[in-house]
Amino acid sequence: MPLLGAKKLNAITTEVVQRLKHQLRERRSKTVNNVLSVLNVILKKAVEWNVIDRMPCIIRLLPIPKPSAGFYDFDDFEMLVAAAKSEPNAYVIVLLGGEAGLRCGEMMGLEWEDVDFNKRQLCIQRSVWKGHVGVPKGGRLRYVRMTARLTVALREHRHLPSRRVLCETDDSPLSADVVKHYVERAARRGGLKESGVHRLRHTFCSHLAMLNAPARGIQELAGHNDLSTTRRYMHLSPTALDSAIRLLDSRLTRTGRGEIEETGSTETANSSQ
């Protein structure tokens, strides 16, 4: 508002947007992008509502390197699971995040009708944000097969008449803060320094990658719209890159152009052969 509030919408040109970026240069890139995203929505709505004829400018967000996703390794995750067992809600939350990849809002929106014990499958079709029930991020439902441990945990957890899987003893649904606190308490009991509901989702994707699950499979299970999001985890696969190089090795071997020495190095075939 201080920088653009007095301007007419159709006067916000690309040059004006560039000046806005310059005026916000002391802010973090993510903050600047938030401002630009709001401006972009305002202008697009103005076009949709026939306030202006067309977008008066081009808005490009600042490039932001994607941070590496923190996750629990296998041993630490088992410590967290063991520590969460003393609280039924905490135990289910940890398994829904770490073994099914649900986001916090998806956990809060999960209902018993979404749990198919016969097929050992979850249907992720809603998400809760600030009390509002909507569709999951990405705008589409997905199905996730339950691990044996999660299946047992949910069977044992179904003792309250609430429609929601996660709820208080009075059947009221859990808030995001309560879900977060469950995970934090379990992490403290387990002696783990790092905690977070979304860390559980990263753990789910990371463990799948480390177990050599295909990227497309992880994408479907996690509900990523863009495969590039999934690829953030693929560097954790211990054999993915090695397998790619072995394809070259096998080709050279077939054509007689290479051999593998005892040291493990690949050299060209002896020219005298």
User: Would you place residue 216 in the very low, low, confident or very high pLDDT band (cuts 50, 70, 90)?
Assistant: very high
Domain contains 239: no
| pLDDT averaged over every residue in the chain | 88
Report pLDDT for 255: 67
Structural domain contains residue 257? no
Residue 48 has pLDDT above 50, yes or no: yes
Domain-ending residue, one of 65, 95, 113: 65
pLDDT of residue 270 exceeding 50, the answer is no
- Indicate whether 203 pLDDT > 50: yes
Domain membership of residue 119 (yes or no) is yes
Give the pLDDT confidence score for residue 229 in this predicted structure: 85
Residue 104 lies in a domain: yes
Look up the CATH number of the domain holding residue 153: 1.10.443.10
If pLDDT is split at 50, 70 and 90, which confidence band does 68 have?
low
- Overall number of domains in the chain: 2
Q: What integer pLDDT is reported at residue 206 of this predicted model?
A: 92
Same domain for 25 and 82?
Answer: no
For 236-269, how does the pLDDT look when each residue is reduced to its tens digit (9 = 90+)?
776 656 666 777 777 667 666 655 444 444 444 4
- Region 4-22 average pLDDT: 95
- The whole-number pLDDT of residue 2 equals 86
For 122-164, write each residue's pLDDT tens digit: 999 999 998 899 999 888 899 999 999 999 999 999 876 789 9
| Joined tokens for residue 36 | 């630009």
**Domain assignment of residue 185, given as a range:** 74-234
Domain boundary among 48, 65, 82: 65
pLDDT tens digits, one per residue of 24-46: 999 999 999 999 999 999 999 99
Beta pairing, strands 121-124 & 127-129: unpaired
Q: Are residues 55 and 78 in the same domain?
A: no
The whole-number pLDDT of residue 139 equals 87
For residues 124 and 88, membership in a common domain is answered with yes
268 is a domain residue: no
Residue 241's pLDDT is 60
Residues 164 and 116 in one domain: yes
Contacts of 45 (CB under 8 A, 6+ apart): none
Give exposure, 20-43, as e/b (b: 16+ Cβ within 10 Å): bbeebeeeeeeebbeebeebbeeb
89 and 61 housed in the same domain = no
